[in-house]
Structure 1
């Protein structure tokens, strides 16, 4: 079984090129997350990465922040912050016990950020016309993990209702569907 940091390293390797490939002119474009445009989704993802880095160290977090951090060299900063996230989850004890304010098993919390990083990288890729192929090891771990979390995530309004997919759907299409996403979503023509 891979550690959360190893899985995050694989997810980061797939997410960073997507973020680097986003053009400034695409920041107002829609995404598969109907409540977010590209800029808002990037801001959300930066907040998630920062908070889950703190949670790895069993610290307290603040998910209510709303400042716009998609400024300056935000692409380079995304690379740096995901590197720090991987390091935080590689620290001894990061996967043990419970996390700070969330009071959930640390490994479960690690899967939450792994899911956010992977699924939102797909969201951003789809929104900006880029290819995205998730790390197969990440998908193997995410599929049962997100399926188990889905009922609670729906109660918390984090996941939508499951999207129906055919029996021949890929494992990643099933991961997307369990979060309420249409795996066939495409960006509107301009």
Structure 2
């Protein structure tokens, strides 16, 4: 039997996309200015950032050179929800192509599977960020969490030095695997989050 940790990046991204795309598609225009758990981004800016990641990591899957010099204003397009879904589908197909996770890719010459895990992580944790910011719960598929766990632990020291991850958050012994993944990135999954305009604080999912 295939171990969850051995699933291809393409398969993991397809599963992650099935969970993340509805979160993004369900964001109301009235919520675009709301803050998110990523302090530097409001909802609109985080959607634009995630869209940029989705597009540029398609290029990385093909061993090309992405352009992160600017962030597109996706939300300015009236059909931004559908466009995000379409480009996320292209991301899945790019990483499902033969040879996508073989060899190295990116300016740092990292193993392609590690780079694939980077976009898998962004799609997963930013879906959680956006869900939390807009008053919803989010729990990814366990196979995605299992596929990310070892890679995220390995990349964490470098990611913290680069300011991509915050300091790890300590959690109690009953924390779930996804909560521990979030904590490794510097997020506190047990913190109460009040969605602006919402009727009450949003508690983390049990």
Q: TM-score, normalised by structure 2?
A: 0.89
Contact kept, 8 Å, 2:31 with 2:43, in 1: the verdict is yes
Distance in 2 (CA, whole Å) between partners of 1:23 and 1:161 is: 31
Structure 1 residue aligned with 2:3 = none
Distance in 1 (CA, whole Å) between partners of 2:195 and 2:24 is: 20
Contact kept, 8 Å, 2:34 with 2:196, in 1: the verdict is no
The structural deviation recorded for 1:188 is 4.4
The structural deviation recorded for 1:16 is 0.8
- Write the deviation string for residues 140-172 of structure 1: whole angstroms up to 9, x where unpaired: 111221111100000111000001111110000
Distance in 1 (CA, whole Å) between partners of 2:195 and 2:90 is: 34
Residue of 180, 184, 187 corresponding to 2:186 = 180
Structure 1 residue aligned with 2:146 = 140
Distance in 1 (CA, whole Å) between partners of 2:9 and 2:98 is: 12
Contact kept, 8 Å, 1:147 with 1:178, in 2: the verdict is yes
Distance in 2 (CA, whole Å) between partners of 1:128 and 1:42 is: 12
Residue of 113, 122, 133 corresponding to 1:127 = 133
Distance in 2 (CA, whole Å) between partners of 1:181 and 1:158 is: 12
The structural deviation recorded for 1:50 is 0.7
The structural deviation recorded for 1:98 is 0.5
Contact kept, 8 Å, 1:61 with 1:101, in 2: the verdict is no
- Report the RMSD for the aligned CA atoms in angstroms: 1.1
Contact kept, 8 Å, 2:31 with 2:134, in 1: the verdict is yes
Residue of 96, 107, 110 corresponding to 2:116 = 110
Distance in 2 (CA, whole Å) between partners of 1:132 and 1:126 is: 8
Give the aligned length. Answer: 190
Indicate the SS of the match to 1:130: coil
Choose 1 or 2 for highest CA Rg: 2
Q: 1:52 to 1:102 in 2, by over 3 A?
A: farther
Distance in 2 (CA, whole Å) between partners of 1:110 and 1:50 is: 13
Moved over 2 A (4+): 187-190
Indicate the SS of the match to 1:165: coil
Distance in 2 (CA, whole Å) between partners of 1:32 and 1:58 is: 32
Residue of 17, 22, 25 corresponding to 1:17 = 22
The structural deviation recorded for 1:183 is 0.4
Structure 2 residue aligned with 1:89 = 95
Indicate the SS of the match to 1:8: helix
Contact kept, 8 Å, 1:31 with 1:187, in 2: the verdict is no
Gapped regions of structure 2 (runs ≥ 5): 1-5, 198-206
Q: TM-score, normalised by structure 1?
A: 0.96
